[in-house]
Amino acid sequence: MDEVQARGFHEFMCYVNPMLAQRAQLGGEPWHVVATDDGRLVHSDGRIYEDFHGTQALGHRNPHITAAVKCFLDTDAPNWYPARVTPYAGRLARMLAERTGYERSSFAASGSEGVEAAMKLARAATHRTRILGLDGAYHGCGMGSTALMAKGPFRDPFGPHVPGVESLPFGDLDALHAAFAAGDVAAVVVEPIQGEAGVRVLPDDYVAALCELTARHDALLVADEVQTGLGRTGTFLRSVRWPRRPDAVVLAKLLGGGLVATSAMLTTPAWFQRAYGRDFEGGESHNVTFGYNAMSMVAGIAALELLDEALFERIRTLGAWFRAELVGQLGDHPLVEEVRGEGLMLGLKLRRLDHPWLSFEHFGFEGLAERASVSPLLCHRLYRHGWFFFTCGHDWSVFRLQPRYYVPQETLAQVIVDIRTELDWLLETSR
Ligand X SMILES: Cc1ncc(COP(=O)(O)O)c(C=O)c1O
DSSP E strands: which ranges in 73-209? Answer: 104-108, 130-134, 165-168, 185-190, 193-194, 200-201
- Torsion sign, CA atoms 336, 150, 236, 407: negative
Q: In 3-state terms, what secondary structure has residue 58? A: coil
Q: In 3-state terms, what secondary structure has residue 188? A: strand
Residue nearest to ligand X (CB): 111
Q: Determine phi and psi for 95, rounding to 5 degrees.
A: -65, -40
- Of the two residues 86 and 112, which places its CB atom closer to ligand X in the complex? 112
Shortest Å distance, C-beta 250 to ligand X = 7
Do 260 and 337 touch, CB atoms closer than 8 A? no
Shortest Å distance, C-beta 347 to ligand X = 13
Q: Residue 160: is the preceding peptide bond cis (ω within 30°)? A: yes
- Of the two residues 111 and 234, which places its CB atom closer to ligand X in the complex? 111
Do 423 and 333 touch, CB atoms closer than 8 A? yes
- Of the two residues 50 and 191, which places its CB atom closer to ligand X in the complex? 191
Packing angle, helices 409-429 and 374-383, rounded to 10? 120
Shortest Å distance, C-beta 225 to ligand X = 8
Which residues are registered as beta bridge partners of 131? 165, 187
Shortest Å distance, C-beta 179 to ligand X = 21
- Of the two residues 39 and 140, which places its CB atom closer to ligand X in the complex? 140
- Of the two residues 199 and 415, which places its CB atom closer to ligand X in the complex? 199
Q: Residue 263: CB partners within 8 Å, gap ≥ 6? A: 107, 108, 109, 110, 111, 113, 114, 226, 250, 251, 252, 255
Distance CA 222, CA 191 (A): 8
Shortest Å distance, C-beta 252 to ligand X = 5
Shortest Å distance, C-beta 287 to ligand X = 18
- Of the two residues 110 and 373, which places its CB atom closer to ligand X in the complex? 110
Interface residue list for ligand X (CB under 6 A): 110-112, 115, 138-140, 191, 195, 224, 226-227, 252
CA distances from 341 to 44, 59, 243, 382 (A): 34, 21, 20, 21
Tell me the residue type at 416.
Answer: I
Shortest Å distance, C-beta 2 to ligand X = 28
- Of the two residues 238 and 381, which places its CB atom closer to ligand X in the complex? 238
Q: Which residues of 278-305 are buried (b: 16+ CB within 10 A; e: fewer)?
A: eeeeeeeebebeebbbbbbbbbbbbbbe
Shortest Å distance, C-beta 193 to ligand X = 9
- Of the two residues 146 and 359, which places its CB atom closer to ligand X in the complex? 146
- Of the two residues 117 and 372, which places its CB atom closer to ligand X in the complex? 117
Beta-strand pair 345-350/336-342: antiparallel
Shortest Å distance, C-beta 333 to ligand X = 28
Distance CA 154, CA 314 (A): 35
